[in-house]
């Protein structure tokens, strides 16, 4: 009997400790690669750029008590990009496409105030997991391999919880990642495609 009481007491204490510490976000994101002028294959390929892409991006966040500090893991359904470039001095054309997942982990500081708005900033790390590379246009028939990549990420945004909402809210934020992928064409390294994307996200939040 005493063991049962102790177990119930521990469960109650655990529930009280973690109540309100978890938040789930459900949103959509536009990933906009920077307009860096990537030059590849010793100048044969110039102005290589990945286009914008949209994806469903859920995330999960844990708050460390009342400190204002939290950590958030951004997940996503696959993004798909086309890559355009000038090949051999010709006009810009689609030369490749690829899919990727960008899991991103940030540590955030949430600024508390007396309103329903909670601004936040964060910094962390991101990964670019790439697959499904295909060549097109002037590169069609060749084999392209893009290496998985890792980089740093920053984040700024806000969460808004209406006065009559118990746990629900809406949020919007922007992330920036400094990341690029090494490319191989027919097994030979041809350079690095600097993606350095801005990720714009909007959606709903629910705090447990």
* E strand spans, the chain: 22-32, 38-40, 45-50, 53-63, 69-74, 79-87, 92-101, 104-110, 117-135, 144-146, 149-160, 168-178, 180-185, 188-194, 198-207
**What are the chain's domains?**
22-207 (2.40.160.20)
What pLDDT tens digit does each residue of the chain (208 aa) get? 434 433 333 343 344 344 569 999 999 999 999 887 789 999 999 999 999 999 999 999 999 998 999 999 999 999 999 999 999 988 999 999 999 999 999 999 999 888 999 999 999 999 999 999 999 999 999 999 999 999 999 999 999 999 888 899 999 999 999 999 999 999 999 999 999 999 999 999 999 8
């Amino acid at each position: 009997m005493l063991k049962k009481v102790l177990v119930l007491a521990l469960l109650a204490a655990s529930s009280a400790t973690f109540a309100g510490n978890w938040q789930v976000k459900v949103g959509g994101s536009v990933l906009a690669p920077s307009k860096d002028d990537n030059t590849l294959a010793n100048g044969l390929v110039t102005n290589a750029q990945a286009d914008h892409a949209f994806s469903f991006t859920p995330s999960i966040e844990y708050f460390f008590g009342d400190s204002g500090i939290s950590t958030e893991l951004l997940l996503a359904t696959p993004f798909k990009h086309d890559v355009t470039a000038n090949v051999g001095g010709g006009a810009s054309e689609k030369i490749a496409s690829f899919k990727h997942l960008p899991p991103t982990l940030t540590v955030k500081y949430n600024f508390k105030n007396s309103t329903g708005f909670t601004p936040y900033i964060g910094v962390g790390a991101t990964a670019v997991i790439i697959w499904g590379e295909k060549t097109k246009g002037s590169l069609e028939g060749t084999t392209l391999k893009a290496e998985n990549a890792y980089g740093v990420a920053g984040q700024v945004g806000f969460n808004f919880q209406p006065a009559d909402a118990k746990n629900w809210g809406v949020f919007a934020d922007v992330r920036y990642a400094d990341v690029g992928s090494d490319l191989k064409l027919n097994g030979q390294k041809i350079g690095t495609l600097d993606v350095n994307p801005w990720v714009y996200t909007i959606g709903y939040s629910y705090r447990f």
